């Protein structure tokens, strides 16, 4: 069962082409990451899928419905996590989550959601007093209170400190473990690698690569670099068969400073995005 | 929950937020009270043969002007602020209908307006010896004028917020017509018959003149009707104009309402 199906999606603003023909398929229960530099069309794509923006061409089905004509019952199955809202400043965390729970036909338990998002200690604090990371976790709480089948997270950890990011990732992992489909956009590669089952790289409105984080852009089969040091100094060899190389070299005993590296997701990504420019 | 139940739930949190953000509450309430206290103390003329003072007439008009501040001005600003701070963006992603959101705003305005009316009448009673009517008839008139004023001016406030690009800009967008119309509707300069006829004709197309006239009919003796343009309270026409604006306001709201500030 597919949660999101997109064919030939296009969207332009005046002369600027934001999305230049995208095909996308996200299975139910999958955590899917859209990667790409600023201006690649990530946010436009997500806003079209959320039903917040119209499109020029293409077929889109989100949970089986066209977002352009999304009904209230359809929206009840989505969770949209905002990234820049400063609303509800004067309400407490508990008041806010409890109020939003009323909008949905099958809400989660309010206390459970607050606990899941790590806000139990802040339940009675005014929203305006929350730190940036706490505020974003409240955004997630409001995004998941309605027991959504599909959650949209648009650059959720921008501006987080490393510890807050780790906590946030833990939260997303818990959501995914419950079977919730997650569509994530990010420009942090480690985030995509840590969370996503599959990633697609967007550049200039097109998908330039798609796959699991481990195999993206031929990463798994790319030549590895083997480095070691002996009495002649440091060595560096590129090879498609690093295992054989290491077996052969290690006949002479322990190799000092041995490393075998594959291109990182970042190397692959920069390559892909760079090709497009 | 139904659209109506959700509208009431929205109303509950709107009221909470309004009174907790003191700047907005104080700004909304204080302006009409300040004007009432200042101008009321300057007006000391009495209307011949009626025993009614200019300050009492002014108080009755300010009940109306106060409600328009808490409805029209307040909503223009608060809906623009909701658009700016992400409230509307978030609501748009939920199953909540726009109608429930509007209803929540109207509940807020009704509560705030009732508070405003009580404060204005309290100051009037304290400083200017304004007497509250004792007949049920007058209170019925108060009731329908109040409801029509709240509904029509709330709708117009929500519609006007679409013009404002930011919460701050919205204060100017709302206050310019509000203050201007108060002048040409005879709120500050009374009786209204002393104003140029052309001015009052323009004012007659808008709600303020009729709202204030309606409240003068409630809080002043009937002998005062001769200082109205028509020489009577014209309650039928008041109901017709305010009813028409309520419907027109709703239509404008539905035509112009935007969830977000981006235009594509």
ipTM for the predicted complex: 0.85
Mean of pLDDT values over A205-215: 88
Tokens of B245: 């604006």
Q: Could you tell me if A53 lies within 8 Å of chain B, comparing CB atoms? A: yes
For the cut 50, the answer to whether the pLDDT of residue A84 exceeds it is yes
- Per-residue confidence band for B115, with pLDDT thresholds at 50, 70 and 90: very high
Q: Is the dihedral of CA B24, B28, B34, B35 positive or negative?
A: positive
- Per-residue confidence band for B140, with pLDDT thresholds at 50, 70 and 90: very high
Classify A140 in phi/psi space as left (phi over 0), alpha (psi -120 to 50) or beta.
alpha
| Option in A52, A76, A126 nearest B95 (CB) | A76
Question: Residue B85: its chain A contacts at CB < 8 A?
Answer: 85-87, 89
In a domain, A93, yes or no: no
Mean of pLDDT values over A7-26: 92
Q: Could you tell me if A100 lies within 8 Å of chain B, comparing CB atoms? A: yes
d(CA A145, CA A102): 9
For the segment B13-46, what is each residue's pLDDT rounded down to a tens digit?
Answer: 999 999 898 887 887 788 888 989 998 888 778 8
Q: Could you tell me if A104 lies within 8 Å of chain B, comparing CB atoms? A: yes
Q: Which of A87, A97, A105, A144 to mutate against chain B (most B CBs within 10 Å)?
A: A87
DSSP H or E run through A81:
strand A78-81
For the cut 80, the answer to whether the pLDDT of residue A159 exceeds it is no
- In chain A, the N- to C-terminal Cα span, in Å, equals 36
Q: Which residues touch A138 (CB under 8 Å, ≥6 apart)?
A: A93, A96, A97, A117, A119, A127, A130
- Per-residue confidence band for A130, with pLDDT thresholds at 50, 70 and 90: very high
Is A80 in contact with B82 (Cβ distance < 8 A)?
no
A 10 A CB-CB count for B94 gives 22
What's phi and psi for A237, nearest 5 deg? -125, 130
d(CA A180, CA B236): 59
Domains of chain B, residue spans: 3-256
Mean of pLDDT values over B141-153: 95
What integer pLDDT is reported at residue B27 of this predicted model? Answer: 78
What integer pLDDT is reported at residue B263 of this predicted model? Answer: 46
| Option in B6, B89, B264 nearest A82 (CB) | B89
Is A85 in contact with B90 (Cβ distance < 8 A)?
yes
**Distance in Å, alpha carbon of B74 to nearest chain A alpha carbon:** 17
- Higher pLDDT: A127 or B21? It is A127
Q: Is the dihedral of CA A126, B86, A141, A163 positive or negative?
A: negative
Question: Residue A103: its chain B contacts at CB < 8 A?
Answer: 1, 6, 94-96
| Option in A76, A78, A91 nearest B13 (CB) | A91
For the segment B211-231, what is each residue's pLDDT rounded down to a tens digit?
Answer: 999 999 999 998 888 888 888
In a domain, A146, yes or no: no
What integer pLDDT is reported at residue B261 of this predicted model? Answer: 62
Contact between B51 and B131 under an 8 Å Cβ cutoff? The reply is no
Q: What is the full DSSP assignment across A115-135?
A: HHTT-GGGTTSBGGGS-HHHH
In a domain, A230, yes or no: yes
What integer pLDDT is reported at residue A277 of this predicted model? Answer: 46
What integer pLDDT is reported at residue B188 of this predicted model? Answer: 84
What integer pLDDT is reported at residue A274 of this predicted model? Answer: 76
In a domain, A156, yes or no: no
d(CA B77, CA A144): 30
What's phi and psi for B196, nearest 5 deg? -60, 140
Contact between B47 and B57 under an 8 Å Cβ cutoff? The reply is yes
Q: How far is CA B175 from the centre of its chain?
A: 12
| Option in A75, A84, A126 nearest B94 (CB) | A75
Contact between B78 and B27 under an 8 Å Cβ cutoff? The reply is no
Instruction: Give percent of chain A with pLDDT exceeding 90.
Output: 45
For the cut 50, the answer to whether the pLDDT of residue B78 exceeds it is yes
Q: How many domains does chain A have?
A: 1
What integer pLDDT is reported at residue A200 of this predicted model? Answer: 93
What integer pLDDT is reported at residue A267 of this predicted model? Answer: 80
- Per-residue confidence band for A19, with pLDDT thresholds at 50, 70 and 90: very high
A 10 A CB-CB count for A95 gives 19
Is B95 in contact with A75 (Cβ distance < 8 A)?
yes
Domain carrying residue A255: 223-261
- Per-residue confidence band for B264, with pLDDT thresholds at 50, 70 and 90: very low
């Amino acid at each position: 069962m597919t949660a999101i199906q997109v064919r030939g999606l296009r969207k332009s603003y005046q002369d600027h082409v934001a999305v230049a023909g995208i095909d996308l398929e996200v299975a139910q229960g999958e955590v899917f990451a859209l990667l790409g530099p600023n201006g690649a069309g990530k946010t436009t794509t997500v806003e079209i899928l959320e039903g917040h923006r119209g499109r020029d061409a293409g077929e889109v089905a989100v949970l089986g419905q066209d977002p352009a004509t999304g009904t209230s019952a359809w929206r009840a199955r989505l969770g949209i996590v905002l990234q820049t809202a400063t609303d509800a400043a004067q309400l407490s965390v508990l008041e806010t989550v409890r109020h939003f729970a009323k909008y949905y036909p099958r809400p989660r338990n309010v206390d459970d959601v607050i606990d899941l998002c790590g806000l139990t200690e802040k339940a009675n604090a005014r929203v305006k007093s929350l730190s940036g990371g706490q505020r974003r976790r409240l955004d997630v709480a409001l995004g998941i209170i309605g027991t959504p089948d599909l959650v949209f997270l648009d650059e959720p950890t921008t501006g987080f400190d490393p510890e807050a990011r780790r906590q946030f990732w833990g939260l997303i992992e818990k959501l995914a473990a419950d079977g919730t489909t997650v569509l994530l956009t990010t420009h942090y590669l480690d985030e995509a690698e840590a969370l996503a089952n599959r990633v697609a790289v967007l550049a200039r409105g097109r998908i330039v690569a798609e796959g699991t984080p481990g195999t993206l852009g031929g990463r798994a089969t790319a030549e590895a670099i083997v480095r070691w040091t002996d009495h002649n100094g440091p060595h560096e060899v590129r090879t498609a068969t690093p295992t054989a190389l290491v077996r052969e070299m290690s006949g002479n005993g322990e190799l000092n400073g041995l490393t075998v590296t594959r291109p990182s997701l970042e190397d692959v990504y920069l390559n892909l995005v760079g090709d497009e420019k | 929950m139904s659209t109506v139940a959700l509208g009431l739930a929205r109303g509950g949190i709107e009221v909470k937020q309004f009174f907790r953000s003191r700047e907005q509450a104080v700004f909304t309430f204080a302006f009409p009270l300040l004007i009432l206290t200042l101008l009321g103390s300057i007006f000391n003329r009495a209307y011949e043969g009626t025993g009614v003072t200019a300050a009492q007439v002014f108080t009755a008009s300010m009940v109306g002007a106060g409600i328009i501040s808490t409805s029209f001005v307040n909503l223009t600003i608060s809906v623009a602020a909701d658009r700016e701070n992400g409230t509307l963006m978030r609501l748009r992603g939920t199953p909540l209908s726009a109608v429930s959101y509007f209803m929540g705003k109207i509940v807020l305005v009704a509560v705030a307006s009732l508070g405003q009316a009580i404060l204005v009448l309290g100051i009037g009673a304290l400083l200017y010896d304004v007497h509250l009517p004792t007949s049920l008839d007058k209170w019925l008139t108060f009731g329908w004028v109040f409801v029509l004023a709240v509904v029509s001016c709330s709708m117009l406030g929500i519609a006007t917020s679409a013009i404002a690009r930011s919460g701050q800009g919205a204060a100017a967008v709302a206050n310019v017509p509000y203050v201007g119309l108060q002048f040409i509707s005879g709120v500050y300069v009374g009786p209204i018959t002393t104003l140029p006829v052309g001015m009052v004709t323009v004012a007659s197309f808008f709600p303020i003149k009729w709202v204030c006239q309606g409240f003068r009919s409630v809080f002043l003796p009937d002998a005062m009707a001769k200082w109205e343009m028509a020489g009577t309270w014209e309650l039928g026409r008041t109901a017709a104009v305010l009813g028409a604006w309520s419907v027109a306001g709703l239509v404008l709201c539905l035509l112009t309402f935007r969830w977000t500030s981006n235009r594509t």
